[in-house]
Structure 1
Amino acid sequence: MFEDAQRILVELEVVNRERAQRVADPSLAASVVALKAYQQQRFARSYADLLASPRYAAAARFFLDELYGPKDFSQRDEQFARVVPGLVRLFPREIVETVEVLAKLHALSETLDTVMARHLVGSAVDRHSYLRAWQATGQPQAREQQIDFTLAVGRDLDRLTRKPLIRASLHLMRGPARAAGLPALQQFLETGFDTFKAMGGAAEFLATVGARERQLVRALFDARDAADEDSGALGQLP
């Protein structure tokens, strides 16, 4: 359990360092917010069909709100850092593992967003500036890992829905989680669990997300001229 806590804290420290850079540089902070807003718009455009689907809309909205976009996660992160040792004792092992993957995704995404935003400072974010900043940032392996972590969070939530005792445990933990200073984490887990439970199986949803994200990543790295920027998978960009 101690090792679990240490791994989560390491990832949260990465997030804290990224935030500190932005606090010290308001122009960078503004570019990060604009970048995140643009990426949320891109996700909504890429998955308009899933967002309109009776079966998948809630899960797509959960990804859009919780894993993409400019939402401020500082409260949840502060809760993590404050009580991680207690978290690994309070929550079931399967949930701790999901939280660890979420922390890894969060740290990697924040790191990539900071690097990319540095290439956007002073520029409006549109498909052309986004593409240039993406290619200047590079790191294709990190982008693949980012997709892997995103899908892993979804697979974990889907797997947990097949364990009724986990949902009962989550319900019973509302009071202790609130007392321990973990209401935001508790809400994230409950919302994710209920959303994926209602979907009735996430395999097709996650396969769609994985295929479209990888297609877009390849197109972003491969684009070479203006014609490329406005065609194919890059047509998903606002």
Structure 2
Amino acid sequence: MNTLRQYRIALQIFQSNRLRRDYRDLSEVPAYEPLGEFFFNEMYGPRDFSRRDQEGRRLAHFIDLLPGVHLHDLEEILELLDLTYQLDDDLAQRMMAANVGTDFDETVYEHFYREADKYDDRLRQLNLVRSSLYNVFRLSRSSLIGMALRQTVFVARLVGISEVHTFLRRGYDALQRVTTIDHFAETIYRRELDRLNRLYQR
């Protein structure tokens, strides 16, 4: 019998592949390619993010490591990571309880997606994705933040936040070739909102 962790990994693989399929046009824009890879791998990649997310909850204690960054700048990102985990965990548990197997297709996925009846949470997740993209893009314009992220690798490892530090550093680096985030952020928002409304027949 498959474990909950195996269902979660299968779910992440499915979602990462679905996003790659649906946003191939964005990833083919040279400036967006690193950002697309970050989005597909670091947000929905097929691995266990629990340690990173746990470290994220402790990040507030070390926010002074990043000049010009305040707690409210990261609160939405941390909320997004937490909400994404909760939604994925709920779906994984439903699939495991129904014993559908970890090789499920899109029809099965959408069935459990609707059955979970989490429209408001999904809408909140989508709004957090959009606002976080704009906020992180704004922060990525600061060379001081980039320098601090590169110089605090050892400190982050020492205080036990190396995974969330790596997540932030990769996000910063992925945005360096992007001159405007509007098209990327709004395309994702519109398409995912249309998909959400289709699935819940809104």
Structure 1: distance between partners of 2:67 and 2:127: 23
Identical columns (%): 26
Alignment pair present for 1:168 and 2:144: no
CA apart distance, 1:174: 2.8
User: Which of these two proteins has the greater Rg computed from alpha carbons?
Assistant: 1
Q: In 2, are the aligned partners of 1:117 and 1:133 still within 8 Å (CA)?
A: no
Structure 2: distance between partners of 1:62 and 1:98: 19
Partner of 1:131: 110
Alignment pair present for 1:33 and 2:9: yes
Write the letter of the residue equivalent to 2:85. E
Partner of 1:47: 23
Partner of 1:20: none
Partner of 1:57: 33
- Listed as ranges, the gaps of 5+ residues in structure 1 are 1-24, 224-238
Structure 2: distance between partners of 1:202 and 1:95: 21
Structure 1: distance between partners of 2:4 and 2:18: 21
Write the letter of the residue equivalent to 1:63. F
Write the letter of the residue equivalent to 2:27. L
CA apart distance, 1:138: 1.1
**Helix, strand or coil for the counterpart of 1:125?**
coil
Partner of 1:151: 130
Which residues of 2 match residues 207-222 of structure 1 at below 5 A?
207-222=186-201
Structure 1: distance between partners of 2:89 and 2:169: 30
Q: In 2, are the aligned partners of 1:87 and 1:96 still within 8 Å (CA)?
A: no
Write the letter of the residue equivalent to 2:91. M
Change (3 A) 1:165 1:85: closer
Counterpart among 53, 65, 81 of residue 106 in structure 1: 81
Partner of 2:61: 86
Change (3 A) 1:168 1:84: closer
Change (3 A) 1:161 1:90: closer
Q: CA RMSD in A?
A: 2.3
- Listed as ranges, the gaps of 5+ residues in structure 2 are none
Which residues of 2 match residues 223-234 of structure 1 at below 5 A?
none
**If the length of structure 1 is used for normalisation, what is the TM-score?**
0.74
CA apart distance, 1:185: 2.1
CA apart distance, 1:151: 1.8
Write the letter of the residue equivalent to 2:48. D
Write the letter of the residue equivalent to 1:101. E
Aligned length: 198
Q: In 2, are the aligned partners of 1:37 and 1:69 still within 8 Å (CA)?
A: yes
Q: In 1, are the aligned partners of 2:59 and 2:161 still within 8 Å (CA)?
A: no
Q: In 1, are the aligned partners of 2:137 and 2:181 still within 8 Å (CA)?
A: yes
CA apart distance, 1:193: 1.2
CA apart distance, 1:85: 5.4
Write the letter of the residue equivalent to 1:91. L
Deviations along 1:99-143, one digit per CA (max 9) or x if unpaired, are: 322221121111111222233221142121111101100121100
Partner of 1:118: 93
Alignment pair present for 1:202 and 2:181: yes
Q: In 1, are the aligned partners of 2:84 and 2:125 still within 8 Å (CA)?
A: yes
Change (3 A) 1:220 1:109: same
Write the letter of the residue equivalent to 1:114. D
